[in-house]
Chains A and B, each alone.
Chain A
Amino acid sequence: MTEAGPDPNEPVRSIRAPVHLEYHFMPGRASSRFLRGVEQGRLLGQRCPQCAKVYVPPRGACAACGVPTDEEVEVADRGTVTTFCVVNVPFHGQKIKLPYVSATILLDGADIGLFHLLQEVDAEKVHMGMRVEAVWAPPEQRKPTLESILHFRPSGEPDADYETYKDHV
């Protein structure tokens, strides 16, 4: 213990009551399929049978319609920045050099944005509509986690027209 204990001459004002519980987290069928796909360098989503929206990552259900999403669809590993933020604030456990950009990326073929890092670009040059592509970890280093995509970077394509992503902002 690094901090000094309470003064034994003072009345007790507080107690330490730590909670430590161990869980086995299970993401479920849909997310497991997605993460296994990521391990193989593929992005697998699911299409809603009612509204036809494609969810990436999928969660086995369409949150809008409340129905199971059984149909699997593969989407591209490139897409359009729909919104982003520039992180300048240091926090505990931070692994990435400041400043960096977090972005919501609408992958081609998907209907909800994927949250990821945007690098290999100056923060002030990032903008909505920017076209980006995934930078994958080498195949032998890929694991069933989104960290298998190291980050996204500009693809060099012309900006997407606002009309193409205005419903996903």
Chain B
Amino acid sequence: MAGEILVATNVLEYPYTRTVGPVLGAFFTGLREGRIQGVRAADGRVLVPPTEYDPLTSEELTEMVDVGQAGVVTTWAWVYAPRPLHPLDRPFAWVLVRLDGADTSMLHALDAGEPERMSTGMRVRVRWREGRVGEIQDIACFEPETPS
């Protein structure tokens, strides 16, 4: 029909491979081995995930340190309807987690089952994925430390 507005599906696909550098490389190598490492800043703070440069002072950082595999939730958001690309296909919480021994918190998903189990400050621990390859998804998600 003349004049009718056309629509075409357009899929954008970038098969990016990203080189990760020495610090994130060590972090991802550690994840593959089932360890979590941060990087120590000049003032003693431990940043997890680690960065090559201190985000506050821009100093180069190189000293990797192991941190715990459990920690506390510093903030959270409950997802009632997960999106197709989300890490879990059932309702879950996005969380910022400060791991034991770390001074910053990292983003990940928490498999808590229901929002009533959530609270800021709750203890959570890593749930590793089978067949780790050295990427952030090697942490399948976090789970509450105390079973429901």
Direct contact, A vs B (beta carbon within 8 Å): yes
A11 contacts B29, CB within 8 Å? yes
CB within 8 Å for A13 and B25 given contacts A32-B3, A33-B2, A37-B2: yes
A13 touches B19 (CB 8 A): yes
- A35 closest partner in B (C-beta): B6
Please report the number of residue pairs spanning A and B whose Cβ atoms sit closer than 8 angstroms.
90
CB distance from A160 to the nearest CB of B (A): 31
CA distance A115 to B109 in the complex (A): 50
Chain A residues near B81: list those with CB within 8 A: none
In Å, the complex CA distance between A148 and B36 comes to 58
Tell me the dominant secondary structure on chain A's binding face: mixed
Whether A24 pairs with B7 at a CB distance below 8 angstroms is yes
Give A8 to B68 CA distance when docked, in angstroms: 23
The answer to whether the Cβ of A17 comes within 8 Å of any Cβ in the partner chain is yes
**B6 nearest in chain A by CB position:** A32
Contact assessment for B134 and A25 in the assembled complex, using a CB-CB cutoff below 8 Å: no
Interface residues of B (CB under 8 A from A): 1-20, 25-26, 28-29, 32, 133-136
Identify the A interface with B (CB < 8 A): 5-6, 8, 11-29, 31-33, 35-37, 40, 144
